[in-house]
A and B are shown apart, each in its own frame.
Chain A
């Protein structure tokens, strides 16, 4: 080993050791940097991060209360909850919703309508954390997804309570339906300061009693302070404020009566409202066609929604409270009472009916050519004379008619606890003034008063107004505000609050006049226009038929049913109450385009009264159907 080489080696070693020193310095500098970073995070910024860690840790999780039940007057459950599984997508956590759905479709059946519904939900609800792509998963589907869960980021199975309506379409317009909480609802919650109570609630009553009694049914949302992990899964509950279930709402409605009434109307369009005269409790409220509220529960399928909306039958319209119809001859008993009360007629006054009434060069026809012979007040109701009422209306004048009819609620909102009620039109000069713009249209012409007398012309009322007027008449002039709810119960025996009957108005009518009219109406069902429908009834009842024109018929032209398009045919109406001595039920029926009142509407009224008073089911609705209901009662 030469000296030069040795020196060279030493030099190399020295150089290496220098570099070792440099490396050591770099290591120390780097560690000093780390130490500085730790100092910054753990001392300087410690409070900030401590708070953040705490925020991470605790989540306030709303605990959705059970929605209250809706029960009929006999305790039959007509809206209940059941728990089911939904497959929910968190739109914020997936890259592409469509792709996620495609991937899910490989595992679980997803129909085009599920996609369509999901898209609709996505549009409507912007703030929602998760939205269901599939509802009502079978146990098998739940298991299948659970096994493959890791493959689907942002998709979870949720157990949720669903609303269920065991009676399906029956009473759909009373119950209404539920829908997803949308932007509008959220804004309303915020305005009402109710948003906290609706955290965690994703469906809300949109229509019917579900909507009107939303506050009672919803309950109070509970809250849990939950320690959560990064995936949002709860690890343990730190504190809990239990939710308070919604109150159960008991209706005055008799669901079996309702079902009988709906079956009696069958496939025809129309409405029926039955009221307990002494309380105003609504016993049945039918609007046909209806819809199945079950289909709204988890977000309605857009196709079904479109069908409902575009159908010419307008199944979503609640005809019972918003359908406007001329009352036709069902108006006559009230006209008769007005005549007696206002002294325009006596019971004894009679005239020979020629079958027409001339006024101002116009000829007003009676439906019976040649007239009804000698007609007094009683007979005018029993045979439904038009001419009697043409004359009467002319004698009374429009102001007096409108003034009197107001006492029976015609043309006013009844105040039923359902949204969308129409007021209708009680014609009067003032109304015309307001209704029309052109001065020529604003004037009331005396000729217009004539047809008002037989319930035609501008007369336009809802079935519930007609039923309420009948109930008021049956009740001797005392009008109870119609209502659907009998009482509201706190869950688990927490107390009951009755909805007391409210006298809305007392019509200034003499009892003996009311008796006269009621007796005439009783004879309608015994020997008059309602006799055929009420043949052999084992109870007393009062009634009045009505036929409302849909199209105006030219003078001297005869209305020929066979020549008129189906939807232009006359509406068939019937009002009734029973028993006559102490009425327990008063009702109004309308069958759209049903023709003569005696033919279409009266038999429906008979069926309903038979069931209500005698418990007699119509043919074709056997005891089996009755048992079927019994089996469906109760909540699960």
Chain B
């Protein structure tokens, strides 16, 4: 007994090594809330729950694997990952499958996947690697090259068109550039240039993208069309009140008034059933998660690891803020899932890989300094 128990405990200990306790508690909490909301959104259909549990399992294993890899090793993946992701994006543009009018998917025989999802991590990896390599000789020129590295995949994703993913990828890349220390003047100039470029960009947007932006300004103009999502999800949130309607009691969600209620709009289901109290709990959990990530970044050993950790942390923020903002009607409807809560394997994988990176960075912060 004793003999049998000892190696088992040791194995468990060994496995838990590198898993950040704070992060894992937060992730488990968020995932539990997600499963609860999903169970409600999926009409208490256990199949959906089982499927998401499977996704979670895969994602957690992936996170664990990444957490074991030191950042130096991760750095080696930066260029190939970026190159492959970019190549796949080009392939999508040429041979991708069109679903719902957007060319986002690449058929790889066994199934389809979205290379743009891969870019969410490949781009910050690449940029962090790039800044790390040019650490000592950082000039404006480097920022220009970084901007180019960012712009090419973002432009490809925008062309698909996929506004939500493009925004997420661009944000992930931008955070690296921001943390790399781009000067405030340049940043101000870029912000100005961005505002100015909004006008020609407006012309480049697809009709449905423009409609989404316009209906955000006044959703009631098209209550059964483009404004429908926003109106219905706002009703769901608002009708939740302080304490919510109670788990499984959300009428908006259960009556199919909420479109995509188990994926991008799961927050409407959650918010309707758990109310303001539930929302605050969720915000606090996210704030703690992001905060923990930023602390890890602040304490990171290398430029690469701190930039990557900072970017990943803010990626969580971007997901959460954009999704909740969109469901509650202050941001346009873009395809951004609620991190760790929305149904879907790909998003979960990306997010948990991000968490794995944070853990890796945290675990190996001292190893390098010596």
Contacts and interface: CB of A to CB of B under 8 A. Distances in A.
Contacts of A52: 235, 238-239
A38 B287 contact: no
Given A34-B324, A42-B242, A230-B257, A27 B275 contact: no
Contacts of A34: 279, 283, 321, 324-325, 328, 330
Contacts of B181: 12, 15-16, 19
B298 A16 contact: yes
Interface string A378-406: 00000000000000000000000000000
B276 A43 contact: yes
A27 B290 contact: yes
B242 A31 contact: no
B240 interface: yes
B237 A42 contact: yes
A144 interface: no
A231 B232 CA distance: 13
B238 A41 contact: yes
B31 to A, nearest CB: 20
A440 interface: no
B179 A50 contact: no
B239 A46 contact: yes
A57 to B, nearest CB: 5
Nearest to B256: A229
A39 interface: yes
Given A16-B306, A56-B252, A49 B276 contact: no
Residue of A39, A41, A54, A56 with most chain B CB atoms under a 10 A cut-off? A41
Given A16-B181, A37-B328, A42-B276, A50 B239 contact: yes
A532 B350 CA distance: 103
Nearest to B306: A16
Nearest to B311: A23
A242 interface: no
B179 A19 contact: yes
A53 B251 contact: yes
A43 B244 CA distance: 11
Interface string B207-234: 0000000000000000000000000101
A49 B239 contact: yes
Interface string A45-70: 11011101110110000000000000
Interface string A10-47: 00100111011001100110110111011101110110
Contacts of B237: 38, 41-42, 49
Nearest to A8: B136
A27 B280 contact: no
A324 B255 CA distance: 62
A5 B288 CA distance: 34
B345 interface: no
A93 B20 CA distance: 53
B294 interface: yes
Contact of B241 (A27, A37, A42, A54): A42
Contact of A42 (B279, B306, B314): B279
Interface residues of B, number: 46
Contacts of A20: 179, 294, 297-298, 310
Contact of A53 (B236, B313, B325): B236
Consensus secondary structure, chain B interface: helix
A56 B242 contact: no
A228 interface: yes
Contacts of B242: 42-43, 46
A56 B287 contact: no
Contact of B321 (A12, A24, A31, A57): A31
- A-side interface size class: 35 or more
A235 interface: yes
B178 interface: yes
A227 interface: yes
A154 B256 CA distance: 17
Given A15-B181, A45-B238, A27 B328 contact: no
A231 B256 contact: yes
B46 interface: no
Interface in B246-268: 251-252, 255-257, 259
A23 B310 contact: yes
B132 to A, nearest CB: 12
A43 B241 contact: yes
A239 B325 CA distance: 38
Residue of A12, A37, A38 with most chain B CB atoms under a 10 A cut-off? A38
B271 interface: yes
A152 B239 CA distance: 33
B317 interface: yes
B312 to A, nearest CB: 12
A57 B251 contact: yes
B290 A38 contact: no
B280 to A, nearest CB: 7
Interface in B296-331: 297-298, 303, 306, 310, 313-314, 317, 321, 324-325, 328-330
A49 B276 CA distance: 14
A229 B257 CA distance: 6
Contacts of A33: 330
A438 B136 CA distance: 117
Given A46-B239, A50-B239, A228-B255, A38 B328 contact: yes
B269 to A, nearest CB: 13
B291 interface: yes
A53 B237 CA distance: 10
Nearest to B330: A37
A46 B240 CA distance: 7
Given A37-B330, A42-B240, A30 B321 contact: yes
Contacts of B294: 20, 23-24, 27
B129 interface: no
Interface in B146-187: 175, 178-179, 181
A195 to B, nearest CB: 24
B279 A17 contact: no
Interface in A218-253: 227-231, 235
B234 A23 contact: no
A35 B234 CA distance: 14
Interface in A254-279: none
22 contacts: A19-B181, A20-B297, A23-B313, A23-B314, A27-B291, A27-B321, A30-B321, A34-B325, A34-B330, A38-B328, A39-B276, A42-B275, A46-B239, A49-B237, A49-B238, A49-B239, A52-B235, A53-B238, A53-B252, A56-B255, A56-B257, A229-B255
Given A34-B279, A49-B235, A228-B255, 10 more contacts: A23-B310, A27-B294, A27-B314, A31-B321, A35-B279, A45-B238, A50-B239, A53-B238, A56-B251, A227-B251
Across chains A and B, which 6 residue pairs bring their CB atoms closest together, nearest first? A49-B238, A229-B256, A53-B239, A41-B238, A49-B239, A42-B276
